[in-house]
Amino acid sequence: MLQQKLDEANRTAKWRRIQALGALAGAAIFVGLFVSGVIKLDFSILGEDPVSGEIASTAPSSTEPAATTIAAPEPSQVPSPEAPPTNIGAPSVAPTQQPPQPAEMASSQEPAVNTEELRQRFKTDLGTFEDSISPIVEAPGFKQWDPAGFNEIQSKKDAAISAFSTANYAPALAKIEAATTQATSLIAQRDTEFEAAIKAAAEHLETDDFEQGSIEIAKALRIMPSSQDAIDLKTKIDSLPEVLAAVEKAAIARTENNLELELEHLAAAMELDPDRPGVSERHAEVAGQLKEERFATLIERGLNSIERRDLEGAQASLKTARTIFPSKSELKLFATRIESLRKELAAERFIAEAVEASKKDDWVTAEKLFKDAGKVLPDNKDATDGALLASTINGYDLELTRHLQAPDRLSSSNVSEIVTDLIANAEVYSAFSPSLAKQTAALKTLQAAYSSPVHITVLSDGETKVTVRGVGIVGNNKVKVIQLKPGKYKFEGARPGFQSKIIDLEVAPGAESLSVTVVCDERI
């Protein structure tokens, strides 16, 4: 809009300059013709000599005509159109000297003002005014604060633009400068009054003077209705009664040593006015005290849970306590106590399960559980003793099973001695394991059976020499009775000129008597 106005004014000014130059040129030609004597004017008709002031004679002069005579001038006598229109309307006087030349006429004038410079300066100053001054002057509140000043500034600006539109650049520049000066002064005055009102309102807020604070902040908002600082300050002042009530309730709760209620009222005051001195500090202090008390309560509760061997309760207390003070030194000791309880309970659970397994004569499972308990609590005597007992029983059970699965070895005296010791040791633990007692009795019975010799009747032809491998020689007998312990034996017969013969005989434990025939009857 401003640029359109300036462009329109510029076009109007150019047209008027063209008209002025045309008029100036015509006047210059007329003056030149008049000065050179080509044109003569008779002022007698005016009734007074313009030079002497006397009444001019109305009779025509005998030497010059009554009418003006215009003669065609020589080309060299026409003055330059640049010359200003001077002496228009002067009396016709015969020249006594040569007319001045155009250069001499120009030198007698003052230097011309740079019109374009004035025009550009105005445009610059008006642009600065519109950018920096108008937004402030035309903002809400300025006109209400000083209507007369607002109107004067606007009038000066409008007058400046009007003068510019008629190509009166110097007056236009002066008027826009005057508008800028006045506006700057009023803005400074307005700012001073606003700052004073804001300061006074803030001071009354600090002293809890609601009434005076409301008056001062209302004054500030009348000056600058859109000031965010003033709006924020008004919010605080408006909430002052509620803040004071909350602070008073907090003070009463403090005297009653009700920290939780005091904290609640302090929080309400902070929500209304976060910057109120002393409230946030006291809030932090009370919150800290409550946290300390809650932390101590949780630690005490957790220790009581440990005493009751309530692992879940102790762990819950520890977890909550860590959310309050994650790095408190008490937490480390508390956590150590909880870990010890956890290990004790785990070991007790393993031991209890091991005992249940031993009652079911499942000593393999019992041994594993006792050892698991020992891993958790290496110094637990029940775990250590239980693991040793289970391991011993399982060891004897394994040895007994191995001998029962190879009973023929019991016929060996060396093996029999080993089994005798094994049975004696295993019988000590048979009371703890029915299966071990059964295994021990079975091996003991088997050992006894393998220790009792059986009568074996050896039959031959009297020519065959009979031997029992690994035992001894029977000889060349047709009938011979020998005694052998239960087991597997090989009877071998040999006779010169005949093929040797081997007969296998298994002597079962508990057998009463057996017979075997060994005869070499196949010639070589």
Per-residue pLDDT band at 221 (split at 50, 70, 90): very high
Cβ contact 320:334 at 8 Å: no
Name which residue leads in pLDDT, 59 or 475: 475
Q: How far apart are CA 423 and CA 399, in angstroms?
A: 10
- Here the tokens at position 469 are 């491998």
Q: What is the pLDDT of residue 8?
A: 57
Give residue for tokens 């005493």.
307
What is the predicted pLDDT for the residue at 394? 96
Q: Would you state the pLDDT for residue 210?
A: 93
Percent of residues in the chain assigned helix, strand, coil, to nearest 5: 65, 10, 25
Q: Which residue has the higher pLDDT, 40 or 302?
A: 302
The pLDDT of 89-101, averaged and rounded, is: 39
C-alpha distance from residue 135 to each of 143, 183, 430 (Å): 12, 11, 109
Give the separation between CA 123 and CA 176, rounded to whole angstroms.
10
Q: What is the pLDDT of residue 511?
A: 84
pLDDT tens, position by position, 239-293: 999 999 999 999 999 999 999 999 999 999 999 888 888 899 999 999 999 999 9
Q: How confident is the model at residue 197 (pLDDT cuts 50, 70, 90)?
A: very high
DSSP 56: P
Rounded mean pLDDT of 328-345? 93
Task: Supply the pTM of this predicted model.
Answer: 0.48
Sheet harboring 454-459: ordered strands across?
A: 479-484, 454-459, 513-517
CA–CA distance, 461 with 521 (Å, rounded to integer): 9
Mean pLDDT of the 135-162 span = 90
